[in-house]
Amino acid sequence: MQTLGKFEKYLIEEFYDDYREGRMNRRTFIRRVAFITGSMAATVTAMTAVGCRPIELPSPTAPMPTPTAPAAAPAAQAGAVPGAKSPLSVPEGDPAVQASDVTFDSGSDKITGYLARPAADGKYATILVCHENRGLTPHIKDVARRFAKAGYVALAIDLLSREGGSDKIDNDQRPGLLTGAGIARHVGDFAAGLKYVQTLSYVDGTRIGMTGYCFGGGVTWASSEAIPELKAAVPFYGPAPDLEKVGNIKAAVLGVYAEQDARITGGKDALEKALAAANITHKMNVYPGVNHAFHNDTGDRYVEAQATQAWNDTLAWFKQYLG
C-alpha cells in the first residue's frame, strides 16, 4: 500500500462527500478510492477512515478494478461547450479568440496543453490554468478561452500527458494517476509551461499568473511556493500549501473559498495567518451560500451569481498584479 499523502486524503474525502450527498454511486466511489490507494485492502482502510459503515465496504480480497477507456465524446455542436451553463462561457470558434492544442518539453517528456489567446495582435500577460482531478476537460478549455477573451494568453496543461492524455483514460482512474504522479511532477510541468509561453512572441514573459480549481487549486498553491516567476495566483478551494514554505511565495495570492465547504475553508484561517506572518500579499474571499466546486458550470454545485463574482474578482486581481 502506498502512503497516502495530502492530495490523496483530500480527494478521498471529496469523493466521500459526493457519495454521501448522492452525487456519486458506491461503485464509482470504490473504484476511485482503489485507484488512489493501490489495493482493495487499503481501500477498505481508507473508506473506514472517512466514515463508511461496514456494509458499505468492499471485500479486502476483491479484485482491483480494471481501467476502461472512456466512451468517445460526442462531437461538439458548433458554438457549444458541453454542459456549460455560465453566461461567461466562450464557445470554440469565437472570433475574438485563437485556440489550439500545443506540445512543449518538460525535462525529457513531451507535455500537451491547450493554448488560448486574444485574436487581436498584441503582447499579453499569461495565465497558467490547472485542471481539476478530472484532467483537462472541455470545461477547463472553456475557462482558458474566457481568459483569452478577457485579454490574456491562457495555457491549460494536461497533467496526464505522460499517461496518454486525459481523454484517453478511465474517468475513475484519473484522480489516482494524478496523485500517484506526485505534486513535484505537476509543479515541474507548470514551471516548464511558464518557460514555454515565455518563448511566444505575443507573450509578455514578465507578467505571468496562475489559477487552478479544486485539485488544481492545490497545485496552484504548491506552484506558487516553488516558481518565483509567478506574479499573481488565484487558487480555487484547493488543499492548503505547506505552511512552513509560504515564505517562498513571490506571487500576490487571492484565495477563493466556499462558505459551505467546511473541509477546505476550515483551514483558511491558519493559512492566512502564515501568509500574513511571511508578509505575502494576499486576500482570502469566502463566497456565501455555496459549496465546493461552485465555479464549475458543468457541475450541479454551480451557482451563477457567486461563480460570476469569483470570476470578476479573479480578473480584477490579475489586472492589479499583472496589468
Tens digits of residue pLDDT in 206-239: 999 999 999 999 999 999 999 999 999 999 999 9
Output the 3-class SS for 183-247. Answer: HHHHHHHHHHHHHHHCCCCCEEEEEEEEEEECHHHHHHHHHHHHCCCCCEEEEECCCCCCHHHHH
Place of cell 465547504: 261
Place of cell 454545485: 301
pLDDT in tens, 31-72: 999 999 999 999 999 999 999 999 999 999 999 999 998 876
Q: Give whole-number Cα distances, 163 to 48, 112, 121, 160, 267, in Å.
A: 30, 11, 35, 5, 32
With a pLDDT cut of 90, the percent of the chain lying above it is 94
The answer to whether the CB of 182 falls within 8 A of the CB of 101 is: no
Burial readout 98-131 (b: 16 or more C-beta within 10 A, e: otherwise) = bbeebebebeeeebbbbbbbbeeeeebbbbbbbb
- Residue 73: pLDDT band by 50, 70, 90 thresholds? low
The answer to whether the CB of 97 falls within 8 A of the CB of 119 is: yes
Characterise 164 by phi-psi region: left (phi > 0), alpha (psi -120 to 50), beta (else): left
φ, ψ of residue 243 to 5 degrees: the values are -60, -30
Comparing C-alpha atoms, which of 174, 156, 139 is closest to residue 7? 174
Its pTM stands at 0.96
φ, ψ of residue 264 to 5 degrees: the values are -95, -45
- Residue 1: pLDDT band by 50, 70, 90 thresholds? very low
Tell me: pLDDT of 78 over 80. Answer: no
Place of cell 459503515: 53
**What is the distance of C-alpha 91 from the center of its chain?**
20
Go through the domains of the chain in sequence order and give each one's CATH number: 6-56 (no CATH), 97-322 (3.40.50.1820)
